[in-house]
Amino acid sequence: MEGQSDSGRTWPSVVAICVAVAVVYWFIDSRSTLWDRDEPRFSRATAEMVASGNYLYPTFNDRLRPDKPILIYWLMSVPMRVLGPTSLACRFFSSVGIAVTCGFTFLIARRFLGVQAGLWSMAILASTLLILVEGTAATSDGILLPCMVAVMALFGQGLTSGWRWYHVPATGLALGLGLLAKGPVALLPVMVILITLWLLRRNEVRVGSYLGPLGGAAVMGCLLFVVWAIPANNATGGEFLRLGIGHHVLARASRPLESHGGRFLLYLPYYPLIIIACFFPWTLHLPGSISAVLHRRVGSDHFREVFLAWVVSIVVLMTLIATKLPHYVLFTWPAMALAVGGTLAAAAQGKLEDIDRRWLRGGIYFFGPVAGIGVLGFLAAPFWLHLRGALVPFWGVAVVLLAMSLLALRQQLRDRPRASAITLLVGMAILLLPVTLGIMPALEEVKISPVLAEAIRQRTTADVPVATFDYDEPTLYYYVARRVESLGSEKAIVQWARQPQPGVLVVTDATRTQLESRHGSLGLTEIAAAEGVNFAKGTKLRVVALLRQAASPAVEGGNP
């Protein structure tokens, strides 16, 4: 089969790329504190798991967190116990997951496209914008992706060389781990494989011979999941599966949650636009790559059908689901990286036709606007964030991005796709320097929760309760490292302020002013303030931490 005649020097290169991806991502992991809102939710739940010793089900702020199954918390707990509750510990296995995904992507390419295409595909996948984000985030997606791509790699091996005895248990293990990472979405590769087999039904592929092993693997994966799920569900009185499946799966499919989605027709182009923006910078090559794959100039007929089933079915399915988020189509990223890597290898072999080269040049219309918006965004960001002292790294990124884009566009218009691809790889590597060494440290200056949490920990003992109003960000929960009470009304704040024991209230400065104008002085002492940006909402605000002193014996029971 094409692509199997690699030399002994290939595997060291593959391992080196995977290790390099993990090391670079780990470095990025360590350059910033956690970002609201998903990262601190996963991280705080893991910290509570480590502290309580309850490894059966996760909690957040001492309440059941049924959003995701257990695997991500198990994995995060290992580096957290070794390194402490650092950002690197929380994000460690997401980076490992992306490195492993690159390896599985190479295995697929080796089967269908060849070794050189595989090496290109690894580098392309690791340097796309969405993968960079998900691979350096303390969430479950970086753990789920390698499980799903492993299933596709095993299927690719079975499709090209026939099923072996180990394919069923290996596929079942991958599906089971995926289910433990993020639930039913991990079964999407089964759908992709079934659609691929249907597309290949006339290409001398015995579809029936695959259905039994695939069904057996799916059953094994589900059994692995229920070994954990049944005890966890029993321990929570049925709440874990009721909320985990009923709310976080079925409800997300039927209606948009947390304002992620809306009118169906309005959101029809959502995922094509996400691909254009988040597969950057490789959208420059993606249109030509799709042309080359569809016209069978990249890989065999098998790869064409795999690619169509993989990308089209996922995009269509996620478009039909009401709730929409960029990472819902992350599973298509390895397939698109394979298409681009295969096209670059085909270009070197002179296999591309005029229509493919025209589409490669046409990629400038997708790449150019995103690059232009990025340049303008980096130029304007220090003024919007009030970080004029960080002009050099922000503008440095803008200059590098502009130079990389112009040079790559010039080479693409001259029908030199491999030269433009090398430019993009080098440019993305250079971009990481000012981003990690300049921009990310600068952004820490406008993060609110770490500053307030540090002051609260220094000024109060661990048994002093913390309450919030109008600033209920999970990063505060994580960094303050204690249970936080969320107050629901101004009346609740006034009642809280009159209690005699020590406590800390975290509230926006504007809300405090409004409260005191309506109810008079709350009798609280400001112990910390932080002015910055709530990145989850995109708003600027000033937040204060107010200390409620313990009442003295002479006035105990009275107002502070």
pLDDT tens-digit series, residues 137-186: 999 999 999 999 999 999 999 988 888 889 999 999 999 999 999 999 99
Alpha carbon distance 155, 161 (integer Å): 10
Residue type, 129: L
Residues 351-370, mean pLDDT to the nearest whole number:
97
- Reference 30, options 480, 440, 538; nearest CA is 440
Dihedral through CA 410, CA 411, CA 412, CA 418, nearest 10? -160
Residues 285-306, mean pLDDT to the nearest whole number:
93
Percent of the chain with pLDDT over 90: 82
Confidence of residue 553 (pLDDT cuts 50, 70, 90): very low
What pLDDT, on a 0 to 100 scale, did the predictor assign at position 253?
64
What pLDDT, on a 0 to 100 scale, did the predictor assign at position 557?
36
Residues 428-441, mean pLDDT to the nearest whole number:
97
Q: What is the largest CA-CA distance in the chain?
A: 91
Tokens 């107002």 locate to 559
What pLDDT, on a 0 to 100 scale, did the predictor assign at position 333?
98
| Residue 532 burial (CB count, 10 A) | 20
Region of residue 35 (phi > 0: left; psi between -120 and 50: alpha; otherwise: beta): beta
- Residue 403 tokens read as 């130079």
Alpha carbon distance 67, 459 (integer Å): 34
Residue 556 has pLDDT above 70, yes or no: no
User: What are the two backbone dihedrals, phi and then psi, of residue 485, each rounded to the nearest 5 degrees?
Assistant: -100, 130
Residue 559 has pLDDT above 80, yes or no: no
- Residue 141 tokens read as 């997606």
What pLDDT, on a 0 to 100 scale, did the predictor assign at position 247?
66
- Residue 39 tokens read as 């990262």
User: What are the two backbone dihedrals, phi and then psi, of residue 470, each rounded to the nearest 5 degrees?
Assistant: 70, 10
The CA R_g of the chain, rounded to the nearest whole Å, is 26
Alpha carbon distance 161, 60 (integer Å): 47
Judge whether 110 and 118 are in contact, CB under 8 Å.
yes
Residue 555 has pLDDT above 70, yes or no: no
Confidence of residue 554 (pLDDT cuts 50, 70, 90): very low
Confidence of residue 2 (pLDDT cuts 50, 70, 90): very low
What pLDDT, on a 0 to 100 scale, did the predictor assign at position 4?
46
- Reference 135, options 45, 18, 225, 16; nearest CA is 18
Tokens 């400038």 locate to 364
Residues 485-514, mean pLDDT to the nearest whole number:
93
Helices and strands in the chain: count of H runs, count of E runs? 25, 7
Q: Are strands 539-548 and 503-508 parallel, antiparallel or unpaired?
A: antiparallel
Q: b/e for 312-336, b at 16 or more Cβ within 10 A?
A: ebbbeebbeebbbbbbbbbbbbbbb
- Residue 202 tokens read as 């006339």
Alpha carbon distance 548, 560 (integer Å): 8
pLDDT tens-digit series, residues 297-314: 998 778 999 999 999 999
- From 195-209, 287-301, 326-340, 431-445, the region with the lowest mean pLDDT: 195-209
CA 431 to chain centroid, in Å, comes to 20
Confidence of residue 248 (pLDDT cuts 50, 70, 90): low
pLDDT tens-digit series, residues 178-220: 999 999 999 999 999 999 999 988 776 777 788 899 999 999 9
DSSP structure class, residue 270: H
Residues 317-342, mean pLDDT to the nearest whole number:
95
**In the predicted model, what is the mean pLDDT of the chain?**
92
Region of residue 487 (phi > 0: left; psi between -120 and 50: alpha; otherwise: beta): beta
pLDDT tens-digit series, residues 257-284: 666 676 777 888 999 999 999 999 999 9
Tokens 């065999």 locate to 300
In sign, the C-alpha dihedral spanning 400, 402, 408, 414 is negative
Ranges of H-type helices in 30-86 = 38-52, 71-83
Report which of residues 242 and 91 the model is more confident about.
91
What pLDDT, on a 0 to 100 scale, did the predictor assign at position 165?
85
- Residue 267 tokens read as 């959101």
